[in-house]
Structure 1
Amino acid sequence: MLLQLERYQREWRELEEEFQQLQETHKVYRQKLEELNNLQTACSSSIRKQKRKLKDLKYSLQRCKHMSSPEESDLIQQINTQIKDRQNVFFDMEAYLPKRNGLYLNLVLGNVNVTLLSNQAKFAYKDEYEKFKLYLTIILLLGAVACRFILHYRVTDEVFNFLLVWYYCTLTIRESILISNGSRIKGWWVSHHYVSTFLSGVMLTWPDGLMYQMFRNQFLAFSIFQSCVQFLQYYYQSGCLYRLRALGKRNHLDLTVEGFQSWMWRGLTFLLPFLFFGHFWQLYNAITLFELSRHTECKEWQVFVLALTFLLLFLGNFLTTLKVVHTKLQKNKDEMKKL
């Protein structure tokens, strides 16, 4: 018994020593954390001051440009180029500094700091986002096939539509967090998911009836095609991004998107016919719904609203893809002229 007590006392002394070390380590950690917060505040303040001064300088240069000589114009152009480069540096710096959430994140998450401070954490979150998109695309594809060919029940349609709403809502939140951490996804491909969330929500509220049954199979067939195209896009875009990142031509937080981007041009142009076919299928959905809204039996407001939403998706997707293709062709044409 005495030997056991001595052993327990020895173990307690070891625990005491470890606890003292833990307290010291935690004290140092809190000091470093305070230093980190002070450095973050100082960096954020300096960046804001620099941005204001650069904005004033840029405005002054624009005023001087009209009255300058050719040599002075060249100097002004050089300074403007350097200002643009400096703004890009600020963007990269701010990706590692806490910042206020946008309106959408404030509404969803509140005033929570979503900035990931290490490259490892940023890349891990981005990879998780990509895997989430891939897995949900496969699940949505299987769900659409099941609803179209096997499960002809309204309740299964509701589950599928609810899954669409949840998927697009989650994408918008995750994309907003990635944008806060330095991802350069922007433009229509951000708005596209908000519009898709709204469309899926309206589909979810559409009551069963003649109008719904007349459009059901067309919508499910469109969902199957869309999931297949998104599945192809994920694999080819991720491979393309991997090569471009290895060459240092793309940011490590760039994402795969539903549309066509200029960096996809080489080796991925075969996707364009599928994308344009999907865009015009959205237009076909809009026309079908507009015709259904004029049907004598149509009493649901969802029909006309869905028609407008599909038309908006078609215009946004088609015009954005067309713009990217035109810009890329023009750029290639200019490069050929220089040669």
Structure 2
Amino acid sequence: MLLQLERYQREWRELEEEFQQLQETHKVYRQKLEELNNLQTACSSSIHKQKRKLKDLKYSFQRCKRMSSPEESDLIQQINTQIKDRQNVFFDMEAYLPKRNGLYLNLVLGNVNVTLLSNQAKFAYKDEYEKFKLYLTIILLLGAVACRFILHYRVTDEVFNFLLVWYYCTLTIRESILISNGSRIKGWWVSHHYVSTFLSGVMLTWPDGLMYQMFRNQFLAFSIFQSCVQFLQYYYQSGCLYRLCALGKRNHLDLTVEGFQSWMWRGLTFLLPFLFFGHFWQLYNAITLFELSRHTECKEWQVFVLALTFLLLFLGNFLTTLKVVHTKLQKNKDEMKKL
């Protein structure tokens, strides 16, 4: 018994020593954390001042350019180019600094700091986002096929539509967090997820009836096609992005999108016919719903609202893709002229 007590006392002393070391380590950690917070505040303040001064300086150069000689104009142009490069550097710096959330993240998460401080954490979150899109695309494809050909029940349609709402809502939140951490996601390819969330929510509230049954199969067929195209886009875009990131031509936080961007031009133009077909299918959905809204039996407000939403999706997707193609063709044409 005495030997056991001595052993327990020895273990307690060792535990006490480890606890003292832990307290010292934690104290150092808190000091470093305080230093980190002070550095973050100082960097954010300096960047804000620099951006404000650069903006004033750029405006001053623009006024001087009107009355400058050709040599002075060239010098001003060089400085403007350097100012633009400096702004890109500021963007990369701010990706590692805490900043205020946008309106959407504030509404969903509150004033919570979502900035990831290490590249490893950023890339891990980006990979998690891509996997989420891939897995949910496959699940939605299987769900749409099951509802179209096997499960002809309203309750299964509701589950499928609810899954769509949850999927697009989650995408918008994750994309907002990625934007806060330096991902250059912008333009319509972000906005269309908000529109898709709204469209899925309206579909979820559409009561069963004649109008719903007349549009149901068309919508499910469209969902099957859309999921197939999204799967193709993920498969080919992820490979293209990996190659471009390895060559240093793209940011490691760039994402796959449900559309077409300039960096996809080489090797991915074969996707354009599928994309344009999907865009015009959205227009066909809008026309079908507009016709259904004029039907004598139509009493649901969802029909007309869905028609407008599909029309908005068509216009946004089609015009954005057309703009990217036109800009790229024009750029290639200008490069050929220089040669």
TM bucket (normalised to shorter chain) is over 0.9
1:20 is displaced (CA, Å) by 0.5
Following TM superposition, by how much is the alpha carbon of 1:126 offset from its aligned partner in structure 2, in angstroms? 0.2
Per-residue CA deviations over 1:139-168 (Å, capped at 9, x if unaligned) read 000000000000000000000000000000
Give the secondary-structure state (helix, strand or coil) at the position aligned to 1:231: helix
Displacement after TM superposition at 1:338 (Å):
1.2
Equivalents in 1 of 2:338, 2:72: separation in Å? 26
The separation in 2 between residues aligned to 1:113 and 1:246, in whole angstroms, is 30
Separation of aligned partners in 2, 1:32 and 1:336 = 55
Give the unaligned 5+ runs of structure 1.
Answer: none
Secondary structure in 1 matching 2:134:
helix
TM-superposed deviation, 1:309? 0.2
Whole-angstrom distance in 2 between the partners of 1:92 and 1:192: 26
Per-residue CA distance 1:89-128 (angstroms, 9 max, x = gap): 0000000000000000000000000000000000000000
TM-score, normalised relative to structure 1? 1.00
- Once residues 52 and 310 of structure 1 are traced to their aligned partners in structure 2, the CA distance between those partners, rounded to angstroms, is 41
Mapped to 1, the partners of 2:327 and 2:236 lie a distance apart of: 21
Structure 1 CA distance for aligned equivalents of residues 240 and 321 of structure 2: 18
CA distance in 2, matches of 1:243, 1:338: 28
Deviations 1:236-255 (A, max 9, x none): 00000000000000000000
Q: Secondary structure at the match of 2:254?
A: coil
- Unaligned 5+ segments in structure 2 are none
The Cα offsets for residues 245-285 of structure 1, whole Å up to 9 and x where unpaired, read as 00000000000000011111111111000000000000000
CA distance in 2, matches of 1:73, 1:260: 36
1:122-271 paired onto structure 2 within 5 Å? 122-271=122-271
| Aligned-pair Cα RMSD in Å | 0.4
Q: What secondary structure, in the 3-state scheme, does the structure 1 residue paired with 2:3 have?
A: helix
Alignment partner of 1:253: what SS?
A: coil
4+ residue segments displaced more than 6 Å:
none
Distance, in Å, in 1 between the alignment partners of 2:284 and 2:148 is 19
- Tell me the CA shift for residue 79 of structure 1: 0.6
Name the CA distance, whole Å, in 1 between partners of 2:297 and 2:23.
74
Distance 2:209 2:274 in 1: 32
- Write the deviation string for residues 160-181 of structure 1: whole angstroms up to 9, x where unpaired: 0000000000000000000000
Structure 1 residue 313: deviation in Å? 0.2
Q: Distance in 1 between matches of 2:71 and 2:144?
A: 64
Alignment length (residue pairs): 339
1:273-303 Cα offsets, whole Å, 9 max, x none, are: 0000000000000000000000000000000
- Please report how far the alpha carbon of residue 189 of structure 1 lies from its aligned counterpart in structure 2 after TM superposition: 0.3
Q: Shift of the alpha carbon at 1:66?
A: 0.6
The 1-side partners of 2:55 and 2:268 are apart by 39
Task: Give CA deviations for 1:171-213 in whole Å, capped at 9, x if unaligned.
Answer: 0000000000000010000000000000000000000000000
Whole-Å separation in 2 of the counterparts to 1:68 and 1:271: 48
Give me the identity figure in percent. Answer: 99
Deviation of 1:335 after TM superposition, in Å, equals 1.1
Distance 2:268 2:54 in 1: 39
Determine helix, strand or coil for the equivalent of 1:204.
Answer: helix
**CA separation in 2, counterparts of 1:286 and 1:271?**
23
C-alpha separation in 2, matches of 1:87 and 1:21:
45
What is the deviation of 1:337?
Answer: 1.1
* TM-score calculated relative to the size of structure 2: 1.00
Aligned mates of 2:208, 2:22 — CA distance in 1: 63
Paired with 2:200 and 2:36, the residues of 1 have a C-alpha distance of 43
Does residue 10 of structure 2 align to residue 27 of structure 1?
no
What does residue 86 of structure 2 align with?
86
Work out the CA distance in 2 between the residues paired with 1:334 and 1:15: 73
- Give the CA deviation at 1:334: 1.1
1:285-334 deviations in Å (ceiling 9; x for gaps): 00000000000000000000000000000000000000001111111111
- Looking at structure 2, the residues matched to 327 and 67 of structure 1 have their Cα atoms a distance apart, in angstroms, of 32
CA offset at residue 73 of structure 1?
Answer: 0.5
- Structure 2 distance, partners of 1:176, 1:197, is 15
Classify the secondary structure of the residue corresponding to 1:6: helix
- SS of 2:28's equivalent in the other structure is helix
Q: Which residue of structure 2 aligns with residue 7 of structure 1?
A: 7
Q: SS at the partner of 2:177?
A: helix
Alpha-carbon distance in 2 for matches of 1:249, 1:87: 18
SS in 2 for 1:269: helix
d(CA) in 2 for partners of 1:77, 1:293: 56
